[in-house]
Amino acid sequence: MIPNDRTGGIIYSPGTSGTFKNAVLQVHTDAGLSGEHVVSFLANLAAIPMFAKQLVGQNALERERLYQSTKFTQRGLSGISTGVVDCALWDIAGKYYNAPVYELLGGYRKRLTAYASTYHGDEEIGGLNSPEAYADFAEQCLELGYKAFKIHGWEEGPVEREIKVVQAVRDRVGDRMMLMNDPACAINTFGDAWRVGRACDEAGFFWLEDPFKDGGLSIHAHRKLRQKIKTPLLVSEHVNLLEPTIDFAMADATDFVRADTDYDGGITGVMKIAHAAEGLGLDTEVHLVGPARRHCIASIRNANFYEMGLVHPRGGFYGPPIFNNGYRDALDAIDADGCVSVPEGPGLGVQLDWDYIRRRRTAHAVYD
């Protein structure tokens, strides 16, 4: 599994390997408690030097105030590093009150229905190299217990192939699974996006996500597409934080709202987005995997799924094996009903394998 050199997407390439770097953010307190959060996208650490000194000496339980102050310091940068710090602060809070984060948030459910979210298409034997291969994989996921399946198609190539994969998966499992399509902002033109949208209409897809090569930013273009197709749109993954995300919804440019703990201001930010969307009568779908995301979904009524991804017939990339208390995200990490559980320990409820982490550490920074 390697990044596509031209597009950056993760694709299957047998006989090759790639290097993926993760980070662990720790926030320490003078009470002897530490909050920890695993960061998959290192860009989310980039602005921490801007505000780290401001956090020293502050009350770690005043998450709302710290959310607001770090967001203010990063104005113009979409609060890029607020989220990872906020997740660590919630971990501290749970440990302080001896409760899992989802209980502190109010709690709504303890089991989360997962959908299988695929790698991008490839050209390899045994991979996702054809519409039929996607259909085969969807059927495999159904047999494992998944109730829903999301296609990430090819990031390059003719739009006709994107349409054929929608049709092939619908024909194979469409009467037994909920289906979604995520071009991941790869479709070049409005016309091609409309054609893919029409195919999703005919196939009865649950949503179409981030179709345009605008990077998921244009309110006008998505509103126009929404007016011309029946399939609900899920947009706003790349529109970070509460205000611009809800602007998208208020402008009728999306039907579902996207939220991510690392992109959107942490657990605090995701819950703000979810409650605002609830007030508009819309659902919030949380992006990708991880303990913080599970706690959020467990506390949001207006959410449908946990995104198990990215998955592939030959395996998947879910981050390094750094948890030693049984927590895992993987294609086979669901139960017979297609669900995952929420960690029950204090805070985020997971334990990190610090021996593994220290042996592979490539850099270390301290702010005090």
Q: State residue 16's pLDDT score.
A: 78
Sign of CA dihedral 187, 192, 193, 196: negative
Listed in sequence order, the DSSP H helices in the chain are: 48-55, 63-73, 82-97, 101-104, 131-144, 159-173, 190-203, 219-228, 242-250, 266-279, 291-297, 354-359
* Owner of token pair 């449908």: 304
Which of 187, 214, 207, 212 lies closest to 258, judged by CA?
Answer: 207
Q: Are 220 and 247 spatial neighbours (Cβ–Cβ below 8 Å)?
A: no
Write the CA distances from 314 to 13, 119, 126, 310, 348, integer angstroms: 10, 10, 7, 11, 30
Q: Give pTM, 2 decimals.
A: 0.97
Q: Kind of pairing, strands 34-39 and 306-312?
A: unpaired
DSSP state of 42: G
Q: Is the dihedral of CA 40, 42, 43, 46 positive or negative?
A: positive
CATH topology of domain 23-100+349-359: Enolase-like; domain 1 (3.30.390)
Separation between Cα atoms, residue 259 and residue 266, nearest integer Å? 9
| Domain range list for the chain | 23-100+349-359, 104-341
* Strand 178-181 with 148-151, pairing: parallel
Is the link from the previous residue into 310 a cis peptide, with omega within 30 of 0?
Answer: yes
The CATH superfamily holding the domain 104-341 is Enolase-like C-terminal domain (3.20.20.120)
Q: DSSP readout, 143-187?
A: HHT-SEEEE---SSS-HHHHHHHHHHHHHHHTTTSEEEE--TT-B
Dist CA 181 CA 100 (whole Å): 33
pLDDT, one tens digit per residue, over 266-286 is 999 999 999 999 999 999 999
* Interval 76-131: pLDDT, tens: 999 999 999 999 999 999 999 999 999 999 999 999 999 999 999 999 999 999 99
Mean pLDDT of the chain: 95
CA 86 to chain centre: 17
Residue 155 has pLDDT above 90, yes or no: yes
Average pLDDT over residues 9-18: 78
pLDDT of residue 8: 65
Which tens digit of pLDDT belongs to each residue from 167-194? 999 999 999 999 999 999 999 999 999 9
- pLDDT at position 28: 98
Amino acid at the residue 92: I
